[in-house]
Structure 1
Amino acid sequence: MILIKSGHVIDPLSRTDEKLDILIDGENVIRIDKNICENGNMKVIDASGCIVAPGLIDIHSHFRDPGFTYKEDILTGSKAAANGGYTTVICMANTKPVVDNIDTLKYILDKAGKAKVEILQLASITKGMKGTELTDMNKLKEAGASGFSDDGKPIMNSKIVFDSMKMAKELNVPLSFHEEDPSLIKENGINMGQVAKSLNLTGSPHEAENVLAARDAVLAISTGAKVNIQHISSSLSVEIIRWAKKMGANITGEATPHHFSMTEKAILEKGPNAKMNPPLRTERDRKLIIEGLRDNTLEIIATDHAPHSKEEKNNNILSKAPSGIIGLETALALSITNLVKQGYLTYMEVIEKLTVNPAKLYNLDRGYIRENHRADIVIFNPNEDYVVKNFASKSCNSPFIGERLSGRIKETICRGEIVYECRN
């Protein structure tokens, strides 16, 4: 048994927001109450001064397994997730081979059974992520795919997108879309703007995201499919999603911690570690992404955890370094530091975007704390600062190294077991 004592429980589904104890037996929470008595058979966690929340759920991670396991694999990715307070992670399909077939899907799901946290897997929307032919979505769902995405690549064929939405509607699964029109991009990973000019680069304009976000918003309205627009970077894309919601679309938008924490100027200081697709943009974009989070236009905070090796990221030519940063181990603290501590969102609102909202998108019975339900829990001290430096991930490509953040994770519990415990 595990007894969590004297923690401030915040649960967005029940709207619980008070000091309570939580008793765990086996995989489940069996009692939530004030002043639960201790006995010798319990491991007692003193959560005084801490927030106790549902385990975090990330709907957008890359564990690089199979094919690129020198960057990350399912087991190291799950350790990074546990260290970051995540108990469920949904991985993208851009592995090698691509997850467009049952054999690759089965390999991942079998290996996921050995992970510290729950790992779910998306299959690709199109075969080989080439954007020209749909996968057998029905068979892939039956084999365990939680949804579908060609993340990493946009789908340029509108009919393919339209047909995929109609099929997803029938199957009641979400589709997640990476919105960047490559015909508009000279160099990816850096915003077309003053910073790019200073580096003698052209970069990626916000129009590359906006045009595809607009197309997919219109198709979402037409089909009624459950559609997620990934890693929003442009203020106009926020407005497009806001409009689509008003028009009745079943559409969600996700924001990453790096897009609401940094701007294109980070490239000048952090170099390739601040390069990602879509890129960091302007202060105006950053602020309007935060506004989208405030008014629930953007309902989900997702990490887009994208590991790369030091050798790859330390390329002296910025345009040749790969895009992407790791994010699982800093997402909660960045949300606390840049959203809660700045007065934009409450703890309840941030936790909702990290737990129950992601669970709803993927039809998961997760993201809340309740008696007789699986014990997936994170305990963190919102007022304890730390400096970002060490990672459980195989990779360390983070622009936040050396930054002081608020919100130190103390324990992560998944399926009733402690999978991370702060030793410092």
Structure 2
Amino acid sequence: MKVKSISKVAAVGFAAVVTAGLMAAPAAADPSPVTEYRTLAGAGSDTTQDVMNGLGNVITNGGNKVIASWDARGTANIKTKAANCDFPRPNGSSNGRRALRASEGEDIGQGGPGFWANTNVVGCVDFARSSSYGGGSTPSSTGNYTYVPFGVDAVTLARNVNGDLPVNVSFAQVQRVYRCFDRTIAGNPVSPVMIQSGSGTWDFWSSKVGITEVEINLGDYPCLAADTDSNPATPAVPVIERAQEHDGTVLNGFPTRVVPFSAGQFIAQGNAAKIASLTSVTVTDRRGEAALSGVRPTGGVVQQPVVNGTLNINFPLRRDVYNVVPTADLTNPAIAATFVGSTSAVCTAKVNDGGTQRSVVELFGFGVRSTFASPLDANCGYTNLRFGS
């Protein structure tokens, strides 16, 4: 059942503060039980899957959970509605947005109008998790899809903590490494690792360093074609061309490797125990031997992505993270109450952390921006950033 048909869902009464009883609930990833078909079903970004799982556990209407957020990782199909809606799991921001477009009846080239991965998904997806804006660096106020920001992330270079690469790097060095102009940083060998195509993090990172998928596929960046460093302990380790985003274990045993990494995810993975105790969400700690690097922007001073355990929302490589909804659905009571505006359930959701009310978004490592700077540096719940896909 498409959320458009749930016109009688009240726009008021959404509870965004978790009760003490939730702490006894089972750990959550996909909605638990999977047959609990909630009002709003979403999929897509790996970056924001954990925080949306947390918000899915916290936000209720009339005692019922509202958000069903399906993980990016996993091989099993997902089933988002009681009738039909059994389809392959979208992994990454781009795939989540494509599934949403197919749910709206569009032809995205995967089997015909309304098909995602050769499966009819019309009416099956209500929102897409996205860690990138479909319009790139050029904001638009028109389009069939609205990118509603709910948090701020920082993306930086992750290095092997046991390697010799410097703790801080200049952004110019990062660009030169990923454009294959340099194979060293401060005289130390470096092996850049890509992450999966279609992820919002890779879209953001590649746009910042100035490379494109077309150029990569044409072989313009030979150092990205394969990982050529060696691991003395396990010399037969297969060549790695792309890693799943935010998985620092790709660096384990490889002291020269670097990979882009979400600071929000890094914080959440290190905060997994508290997150589990407060929200019953299991965050998998995939940091491995990864450590985040500080970055010096051109003409600036070094900034750290994380300061005192909190994300630096002014980090030069920052981005908003979004829940994407059809623009036509912005006035739907369930969509509006959940996502729209600074007083929406997502923007105001809190948990009781030892007597202190703590933002769920911040608990999962992301920053919350309360003031508007620009459409790409917007306040939580802003609804005038749009695109056609």
| Greater fraction helix | 1
Q: What TM-score does the superposition give when structure 2 sets the normalisation length? A: 0.29
